[in-house]
A = this chain, B = another copy of it.
Amino acid sequence: MAVQKPSIPKGTRDFGPVEMAGRNYIFDTVRSVFRKYGYAPIETPSMENLSTLLGKYGEEGDKLLFKILNSGDAFSKVDWNRAKTDEGINSNNLALQVCEKGLRYDLTVPFARFVVQHRNELTFPFKRYQIQPVWRADRPQKGRYREFYQCDVDVIGSRSQLYELELVQIVDDVFAALGVRIVLKINNRKVLSGLAEVSGHPDKLIDITVAIDKIDKIGLEAVKAELLERGLTEQAIQIIEPVLTLQGSNSEKIAAMRPILANSEVGMRGLDELEELFGFIAAASFKQEVEIDLSLARGLNYYTGAIFEVKAKDFQIGSICGGGRYDDLTGIFGLPDTSGVGISFGADRIYDVLSGLNLFPESTACSSDVLFANMDSQGVQYCLPIMTALRQAGCSVELYPDASKLRKQFEYAEKKGIRYLVIAGETEAQQQIINVKDLITGTQEVFQHNDLEALARKISTKS
């Protein structure tokens, strides 16, 4: 066979030991926080039936689904008449005739499908977290990949805003544990609906939210211009404008909104919800900033109540975590009136933040504690039980595979970031001792064969 130049599909990545260590640090941190709040893990298949996925992410999302060719003789049952148009083959029609499955696009739709499919086995409110990759056939660019991990935490089957509080606490705990200073912004979709109502454009909720969501990026004047462009009247914009420039504490903002939304029932309910949530937040103690941001909209149309977004204070990268409440995610699968709330942590962006701010702890590097040099076969025989004892004591231990020049063995340890080198050949075996060299300080220490506990204590980075 001809030699192939190895490569991977564009938009995908290999993760070496260093990236893995950083990523596992993030996953372990979020996981341990999720568990403290009683969330349990689930996993769903990488492939879902296309019927489960299609139509859930808008027209644009459907195009971004990776479809999997049916196995076996995929094209034998094609109805070519259906697949043909005057211009030639209709790719979309043909694709749907030969592909029944697709790779999951997010963790939310599979979660909704899971909840409905297993509703009789689950205890509600059902609290789950899910850390798995998702795939999108997006154009790859810096920070945007075709395969990336999502870490979602959701609870479904309750309307209680104590769960909104719980998610806010989780966000607070996770980023405190990671050492990242954040601002957590909160809004409520009902407030936005109310705003559309009182502006006289209840049908233009999407236009309004899309425009005002950009205020941080483009500024007030540009947002006003865009609202005009999207067909809002000057009068409507005058009603919306004060909302975009609200100042003050969270309760002051809510108070200021009440007269504006007084004529909208849904708007007032949104303000009540915000007030209740911030009441809970005041009763719990928070390590980080939590604030109302009435311009916060987020793209996803299934949110019906609280909306969350998290930004890092010391690093420019956009939102690193977000979510909200949805009242009818499971309806399409046959389970109506089941409200839930959830958030998703963006592992890739959080990785970039930790990396950019140098916040990864040193101990996440997963190099071994000690390398046993390979001096001679008597030395190896002597060292094998010692290595076993050290591993039992929790150390990570390697043996160099050949009795190569010591220089080469040193280099291996150095390149791999292994701090300690044990040198024990035939002579040391006879004397029942072990020489331990510290490659950072350059010092050397002798241990007795029967004093392995002291050796384990010295070399272990984990304890």
Which A residues form the contact surface with B (CB < 8 A)? Answer: 1, 3-9, 12-17, 20-21, 24, 35-38, 40-49, 51-52, 55, 63-64, 66-69, 71-76, 78, 88-89, 91, 94-95, 98-101, 103, 113-114, 116-118, 121-123, 125, 127-128, 133, 135, 137, 146-147, 158, 160, 162-163, 166, 169, 173, 280, 283-285, 331-334, 366-368, 371, 374, 380-381, 384-385, 388, 391, 394-399, 401-402, 412, 415-416, 418
Contact = CB atoms under 8 A, between A and B. Distances in A.
Contact of A36 (B5, B160, B396): B396
Contact of A41 (B12, B24, B67): B24
A211 to B, nearest CB: 28
Nearest to A415: B123
Contact of A137 (B42, B71, B103, B391): B71
Contacts of A20: 40-43
Contacts of A44: 8, 14-15
A401 to B, nearest CB: 3
A29 to B, nearest CB: 14
Contact of A73 (B9, B69, B91, B283): B91
Nearest to A389: B285
**Chain A contact residues: helix, strand, loop or mixed:** mixed
A16 B74 CA distance: 32
B47 A388 contact: no
A15 B42 contact: yes
7 tightest CB-CB pairs across the interface, nearest first? A160-B401, A17-B40, A71-B137, A12-B45, A38-B398, A38-B368, A6-B117
A67 B68 contact: yes
22 contacts: A4-B52, A5-B334, A6-B52, A6-B113, A6-B333, A8-B44, A8-B117, A9-B47, A14-B45, A35-B366, A38-B418, A46-B103, A47-B66, A63-B72, A64-B71, A66-B68, A67-B69, A69-B95, A75-B91, A75-B95, A173-B391, A285-B385
Contacts of A166: 399
Nearest to A65: B71
B45 A4 contact: no
Contact of A118 (B14, B88, B147): B14
A396 B394 CA distance: 26
Contact of A333 (B4, B36, B401, B415): B4
Given A68-B103, A72-B137, A158-B402, 13 more contacts: A1-B332, A6-B117, A9-B48, A14-B44, A14-B117, A36-B395, A36-B396, A36-B397, A40-B366, A47-B135, A123-B412, A283-B384, A284-B384
Nearest to A395: B36
B280 A384 contact: yes
**Most B CB within 10 A of own CB, among A5, A41, A125, A367:** A41
Contacts of A5: 333-334
A75 B47 contact: no
Contacts of A8: 44-45, 47-49, 52, 113, 117
B16 A49 contact: no
A169 B44 CA distance: 34
A395 B38 CA distance: 10
A371 B332 CA distance: 32
A65 to B, nearest CB: 9
Given A162-B399, A384-B284, A399-B162, A45 B91 contact: no
Contact of A401 (B114, B158, B366, B385): B158
Contacts of A7: 49, 52, 117
B402 A160 contact: yes
Contact of A47 (B72, B88, B147): B147
